[in-house]
Chains A and B, each alone.
Chain A
Amino acid sequence: MGYSLSVSQADTVLHELQRDYRIYAPKRFPKQGRYSDTDIIRYAEVNSFADIVWDIKSDYPAKEVITPIQQAIFYFTEDEYRASKVKSKPILLLARPCDINAQRIQARIYAGNGGYDDLYYSRIRELVKFAVMDCNGGDDTCFCVSMGSNRTDDYALALKFSEDGVLVQVVDEDLVSYFEGMPQVDYTHTFVEENELKVTVPDLSDKNVRKALKTHPVWQEYNSRCISCGACTVACSTCTCFTTRDVIYGDNPEVGERRRVTASCQIAGFDQMAGQKEFRSTAAERMRYKVLHKFHDYKARFGQEHMCVGCGRCTRRCPELISISATVNKVSAAVDEIRAALNR
C-alpha cells in the first residue's frame, strides 16, 4: 500500500501512530554542536513531522535508541536488587538502511553471542519496528554500497521525504489502519546503488599478511593525528562496547544502581587489566584494533559480512579530520605492498 501525504496529513498519521508507538527519528538540536553556532542531529522522540531531519545524515546513529549511551541495569539496596524497567510501548524507529543493517550486526553481538541473549538489548530491540528513510547516497563520507549495506528488507514502512510531505509504502499490515482515508498512490521504495565514495576493503585472509600488517608503518601517522577521544566509536552505527559503572546514592555505599555506559576502544584505559597491563597503549595500536575489527575481525568471527556499514559518521565526527575511508584505502595499499614483498 502506498500513500502520498502532505505535511499536515503526515502530522495526522504521526499523531495516530503515537497512540501506539513512540516515534524516534533524527532531530535537530540547535547550537549544540561541537563548535559555536553549529547544530547536532541525533535520535530523539519526535512529536511532529517538522521535527524529523530527513535531508542530511544524523551526527549520532540510530543505535542510541536501542542501546542508549547510558542505562540503568539494576538497582541495589544492601543485599537486595531489582532489574531496571523499560517502557513497554512499542517504538517506530526512522532510519536509513545503514542504521537498520547496523542493528543486524549489533544483534549478533548482543543476542545469542556465546549462547547468551542480552536482556537489556533484546527487551528494547523487540519493541522496535523500522521505518526506512529514503537515502540518495548520503554525503561524501558515505560508502554503504562498498560495504553492501545499502539495501534492507527489515522495515514496516518506507518513507520518501520532500519539502511538501512524504511518500509512504506500508509493508507491515498492522500499520495500514493508521493511514485510513489518506490519499493512495503507487509507491515502491528503492535503494541507493552507488555512492560517490568507494572503499576497497583489504583482503586479509592470509595470516602472514595480517602478521606483517600489525607492525606495518601505515599505522604510525595515527600516533600524532589521533587524539584517542572516542568520538568515532560513539558515532559508529555498529560499535557495541560498554562498561558497567556503579552509582552510589548519597553517602550510603549499600544503596545505588549499576549502569551500562558506552565505552570506547579508542580511549586510553579501555583494555587495562589488573596490574595495569594494557594490550594497546598507543593511538596507532588502538586505531589498528578498531579498523581491523570493523574490516576483518568481526567477519572472521561471525562470517557473512563486515562490521562497518559505511555510514561515515566516524569520519564526520572526528575532530582531527581522520577519514575512515582514506584509512582503509591506505591499509589496502599497505596490504598490496606486503603481499608483493611476501611473494618476492
Chain B
Amino acid sequence: MLDADFFRRWMTATAASVDREAERLTALDSPIGDADHGSNLQRGFTAVVAALEKEAPDTPGGVLTLAGRQLISTVGGASGPLYGTLLRRTGKALGDAGEVSAEQLAEAFRAGVDAVMTLGGAAPGDKTMIDALVPAADALGDSFATARTAAEEGAVATTPLQARKGRASYVGERSIGHQDPGATSSALLIAGLAEAAGE
C-alpha cells in the first residue's frame, strides 16, 4: 500500500530531477517554445516541496491536491494548469484514504490524464505531454518501472512529430526534429514515481 509519505517522496524526487534537468528542459523549449519550461517547472516544484513541508498533508490525495494547487499558482506558463490539473484530479480521485493500492493509483492517474486532455484539448500524437502520460498511464497497471520506460519512450517518440497544440504549433513544420519539452518533463514526473517506489 502507498501512504502519504510515498506521495511526498514522489514529489520530492520529481522536484530534484526537474532541478537537475531544468537547463535541458529550457533548451528543448528554445527552438519551438518560449524557452521557459525548465525555469517555470523548477519554480513550481520548489513551491510544491515547500508547501508539502509546511502543511504536511497526511493522505495521498491531500499530497497531490496540494501539489497541484501549488503548480497552478506558481508556474506561470501553460504547464502550470496542465500539471496542476493532472495532480489535483489524480489526488481528488484518490479521495481521503490514508493508503491506496498501486491499482487505485493507476486508476486515479488515468482520471488525471483524461482531465489534462480535456483541459488542453490535446490527443496522443499532437507532440505534447500527453504523448508521455498516456503510455505511462497504460503501463502503470504493470509496474512503476514499466511506466517510467513507457513515458521515456513516449517522450523520445515526439521528436519526428509536428506540434498541433500550444506555442510550438505556431512554428509548424519547424517543430519536427525536436523532442517535446512537455513530454520530456512528463517522463521526469513518472521517473520520480518509480524512484519513490524504489524501482
Tell whether A pairs with B: no
Chain B residues with a Cβ under 8 A of chain A: none
Chain A residues with a Cβ under 8 A of chain B: none
